[in-house]
């Protein structure tokens, strides 16, 4: 079979010859495999950060990938989602305009509801995520996807974060029925929270909280089958604790959400 390559690639191959890997490091290999078996949800970046934090080993992502490939191991891979374009907006303003950046905690929150299937029927998880530190500010689980679930989650969030810590706060949601109703709108206004809603048909406008739900399902829920409502609620509690307190992220300086939140709001804890 005849294969072709670019002219520049050919001459680069002539100049450098066949690339060679560094010598096999037995200790590094053992550390990477041990970290992987400690939590199989950890991918290349997470293992790279754990090597630095736990063992003081600085290495590249390509090196971690090579050792994982040699051992035939890989993390859980989430499917890439389809990209959506903007469409005309609802009457409630979209204050975020897909700008998910913020300078400190409690400036922008994202809220939504996701379904959780169990052997006893579907239950629903409502959660609020801070866009700065990625912290799950509050969450509630219910057998019904209704206004009460959303309001209970919102009330818990405001109890956790007093008014003086959320000046100018924007709470963004999609156009789900509870989020565009007058009860929800009036409650936000009474508590000095700015109401923001995604464009119609553009779920990407609310991707921060959608991203959290996707992580929960791929890293936790999909690893368990045939579970009851009680077991699902335990999974939710344990995963959110793990997500807030133990899950490092490169997007937030290799810290956990709680560590970054405590550094910006020390007096809140």
Alpha-carbon torsion angle 267, 105, 129, 231, nearest 10: -30
- Mind listing the domains of the chain with CATH numbers? 7-70 (no CATH), 108-268 (3.30.420.10)
Summarize the chain as % helix, strand, coil (round to 5).
Answer: 45, 15, 40
Phi, psi (rounded to 5 degrees) for 182 = -70, -35
**Residue 88's pLDDT is what?**
47
In terms of Cα–Cα distance, which of 133, 127, 129 is closest to 103? Answer: 133
Q: Which helix (H) or strand (E) holds 142?
A: strand 136-142
**Residue 1's pLDDT is what?**
45
Interatomic CA distance for residues 86 and 104, integer angstroms? 27
Fill in the DSSP letter of residue 34: H
Token pair 């997470």 is found at: 46
Run means of pLDDT, 10 residues per run, the chain, 269 residues: 67 66 83 89 90 91 90 77 53 89 94 96 97 97 96 95 91 92 93 91 84 94 92 96 94 93 85
**Residue 247's pLDDT is what?**
94
Interatomic CA distance for residues 176 and 74, integer angstroms? 36
pTM over 0.85: no
Residue 152 CB neighbours (<10 A): 16
Token pair 């072709």 is found at: 4
Interatomic CA distance for residues 53 and 248, integer angstroms? 10
């Amino acid at each position: 079979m005849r294969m072709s390559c670019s002219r520049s690639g050919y001459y680069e191959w002539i100049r450098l010859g066949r690339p060679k890997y560094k010598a096999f490091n037995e200790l590094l290999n053992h550390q990477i495999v041990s970290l992987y078996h400690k939590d199989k949800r950890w991918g290349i970046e997470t293992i790279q950060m754990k090597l630095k934090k736990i063992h003081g080993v600085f290495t590249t992502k390509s090196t971690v990938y090579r050792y994982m490939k040699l051992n035939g191991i890989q993390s859980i891979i989430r499917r890439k989602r389809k990209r959506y374009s903007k469409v005309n907006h609802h009457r409630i303003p979209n204050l975020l305009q897909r700008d998910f950046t913020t300078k400190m905690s409690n400036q922008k929150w994202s809220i939504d509801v996701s379904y959780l299937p169990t052997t006893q029927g579907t239950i629903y998880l409502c959660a609020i995520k801070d866009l700065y530190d990625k912290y799950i500010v509050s969450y509630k689980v219910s057998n019904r996807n209704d206004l009460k679930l959303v309001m209970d989650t919102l009330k818990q969030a405001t109890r956790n974060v007093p008014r003086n810590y959320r000046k100018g706060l924007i709470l963004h949601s999609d156009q789900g029925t509870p989020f565009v109703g007058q009860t929800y709108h009036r409650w936000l206004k009474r508590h000095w929270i700015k109401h923001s809603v995604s464009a119609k048909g553009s779920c990407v406008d609310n991707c921060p909280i959608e991203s959290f739900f996707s992580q929960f399902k791929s890293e936790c829920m999909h690893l368990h089958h045939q579970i009851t409502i009680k077991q699902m609620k335990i999974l939710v509690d344990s995963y959110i604790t793990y997500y807030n307190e133990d899950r490092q992220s490169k997007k937030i300086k290799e810290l956990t959400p709680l560590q970054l939140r405590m550094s910006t709001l020390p007096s809140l804890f």
